[in-house]
Chains A and B, each alone.
Chain A
Amino acid sequence: MLLLENIFMALSGLKANKMRSLLTMLGIIIGIASVIAINTVGNSMTSSIQSEFEDMGANNITIGVSQKSSSSEEDDMGFMFNDGPHSTTMKDEDYLTDEILDDVLAKWPEEVKGITREATVGNGQVTIDDDYAYVQVVGENAFGLDDAIADDKLLSGRKFKKRDYTEERKVCIVSDYFCNNLYDGNTSKAIGNNVKVVINNKNYYLTIVGVYKYEDEAYSSTSEKDTETTAYIPVGTAFNMLHQKSRYQQATIATASGIDVDSFMSEAEKYLNKRYYRNNESFEISSFSMSSILESMTSQLTMISLAISIIAGISLLVGGIGVMNIMLVSIQERTREIGTRKALGATNTSIRFQFIVESIVLCIVGGFIGLLLGLILGSVGSSQLGYEARPSTESIIFAMLFSMGIGVFFGYYPANKAAKMNPIDALRYE
């Protein structure tokens, strides 16, 4: 009851001294606005990165062959497969083989859903009369193809059959962009056509058996016509085209949901290194998961926005001091009012409460304005950076609680001063 009365009174006080209140709140407004804006941008970045990574598969582990580090010290961020400055050329026996990958499948039938085996043949062009399309020819095993082309993404035709893989047939699945360029967008017309793909001046002939829907990459600058899309072929066919035995520099293991990806990853890495790479002088198996990268990126982003927030929070401190200052002035001005209230029976506690409520109201109103301003700034900032604005609920709650805290902290001293006033002196104050 007293609380409500005090809140109304504080609000009418704010209204009566608009300019003064606004100037007082400015510190709080700027502080809260910047904290919220920074957090919104940070949060938007984090969640968009997160969703991108999740699209890539958070349950996936990539194992690959990497050069043994010459120094004894372990570089846990070194996910560079054979791309180091002093790389030794990989020999056939250094690569991952089907034997190794089959062993993984056999050893952990429960944990592993499947392994993507992939081989890139190269980038090429398909030309029919005056029309052309750029393609990247990639060989996939059945599991990898299912991962690359979800069932609802297949627009027409079919995926590869078992015999396409075993007989290493020269079949391919192309994108709808490809069809737009060469078959006027008629996907069924494309099916069954034998096309010539030119890769590094070599001609390869492939039969189109399916068309999938190409997901346009965000922020790509090339026109639809010139976009290079993937043409999928059976992985065995790819090795034939490359004149290689099947070997992989890296492979992606999809783990079953519910298992601890990171511990499985280190177990598998240890096992494979011990079994297949113990005697290899220059290469070893290393692995990483999306979740581990995601974690470290997210934590770094969080650290950065936290650090900036703390700096912005300093203006909250300054704002708080402003609030304390104005509360002291206000109490001085209203000495007679305080005296009168005491004469009418207000206890010290109720006077203290009144002024703390006033200070809290001042801060919360400031905090709220700051919150709105921060959300606007954050949204504009996020969209400028090309992310979907995602204000974080925690930071909103935090901002409101924090501004309330400032109200209590910086309002207590003035309020206490008011409460302790001698009613006689206060009444006599001119």
Chain B
Amino acid sequence: MSDEKELIIDAKNIYKRYYIGHPNELEILHGISLKVYRGEFVAIVGASGSGKSTLMNIIGALDKPTEGEYVLDGIDVMKAKDKELSAIRNQKIGFVFQTYNLIARTSAIKNVELPMLYNGIPSKERVRRAKELMAMVDMEERMYHTPDELSGGQKQRVAIARAMANDPAILLCDEPTGALDSHTGRVVMDIFHKLNEEQGKTIVFITHSPELADECQRILTLSDGIFIGEREGRVNAPA
């Protein structure tokens, strides 16, 4: 391994505008630049309305910027077509949502298998990997339960396992503890730390809570569609 840090997210001058009928134009992001390196645990903090969600959608290849450059793990997202965006989301990004977004009426393990299904991984391999991931988040005993039989914390653990399914370049977490009480929120945060420290997983963590953000290596503060500050967190970057 070279000492030089590998760039995973390289976004330059990202603008996002919405056109709510001419001539009304709404600019949400005003030229944001962001670099995230492999193995980093970065928090993006901002009040609601600061453009967090829009930025997350762009980082997560759910949406394209109106203007700017965005290279994700060596892939130029700006040039990707719909189908390629799907593949990027599938293989490069693991989403963890505030509201878990597990597929209803589908067992936990099937939920974990889903990204692999879209990635064309054969059934046997899928099941093996899903079980491994369920063990990682300590959910082996409940893997055949459907989401409505699971608690919030359990659901989020399944969601993390699902996000890890295709071993993505980054985990993109949108307020993952927002709907959890402080205890289960802690459990979930510990899983992220474990993934970051033990597997060197790159994590982009979007939150409005400064306390949780402090746990990360680097904290970026977003306000009105532009970064207004960057600071080091309590956790130091791994060597």
Contacts and interface: CB of A to CB of B under 8 A. Distances in A.
B26 to A, nearest CB: 15
B63 A345 contact: no
B105 A346 contact: no
A16 B115 contact: no
Contacts of B97: 340, 427
Interface string B80-107: 0011001101110001010001111110
B162 interface: yes
Interface stretch (B31-39, B116-124, B190-198): B116-124
Contact of A16 (B57, B91, B105, B118): B105
A341 B102 CA distance: 9
A12 B62 contact: no
Contacts of A350: 118
B115 A345 contact: yes
A325 B129 CA distance: 39
B143 interface: no
B173 interface: no
Interface in B70-87: 82-83, 86-87
A344 interface: yes
B74 to A, nearest CB: 18
Interface stretch (A1-9, A64-72, A217-225): A1-9
B117 A340 contact: no
Interface string A330-355: 00000011011111111111100000
B101 A345 contact: no
A340 B94 CA distance: 11
Contacts of B166: 345
B114 interface: yes
B115 A344 contact: yes
Nearest to A428: B53
Given A345-B91, A427-B97, A337 B103 contact: yes
Contact of B57 (A12, A337, A344, A424): A424
Given A5-B117, A13-B105, A16-B105, A343 B95 contact: yes
Given A345-B119, A350-B118, A424-B57, A9 B106 contact: yes
Contact of A341 (B62, B63, B103, B122): B103
Given A5-B117, A424-B57, A424-B63, A342 B106 contact: no
A73 B234 CA distance: 108
B51 interface: no
A346 B118 contact: yes
Contacts of A12: 105-106
Given A345-B89, A345-B90, A347-B86, A340 B63 contact: no
Interface in A339-382: 339-350
- Counting chain A residues whose Cβ lies within 8 A of the other chain, the interface size class is 20 to 34
A337 B111 CA distance: 11
B176 interface: no
Interface residues of B, number: 29
B101 A336 contact: yes
B153 interface: no
A423 interface: yes
Contacts of A427: 62, 97, 101
A336 B83 CA distance: 20
Contact of B101 (A16, A340, A424): A340
Interface in A277-327: none
Contact of B90 (A2, A339, A344): A344
Contacts of B101: 336-337, 339-340, 343, 427
A423 B89 CA distance: 11
A402 to B, nearest CB: 29
Contact of B62 (A2, A337, A343): A343
B60 interface: yes
B89 A343 contact: yes
Contact of B118 (A336, A337, A345): A345
A424 B63 CA distance: 7
B91 A424 contact: no
A326 B104 CA distance: 18
B105 A344 contact: no
Contacts of B118: 341, 344-347, 350
A136 to B, nearest CB: 74
Nearest to A346: B118
Given A342-B89, A343-B95, A345-B87, A1 B103 contact: no
Nearest to A15: B105
A348 B83 CA distance: 8
Contacts of B105: 12-13, 16
Contacts of B123: 1
Q: Lowest 3 A-B CB distances belong to which pairs? A: A345-B90, A340-B101, A347-B86
Given A2-B117, A345-B118, 13 more contacts: A1-B122, A336-B101, A342-B62, A343-B89, A343-B95, A343-B101, A344-B115, A344-B162, A345-B119, A346-B86, A347-B86, A350-B118, A427-B62
6 contacts: A341-B103, A345-B87, A345-B90, A347-B87, A350-B118, A424-B63
Interface of A: 1-2, 5, 9, 12-13, 16, 336-337, 339-350, 423-424, 427
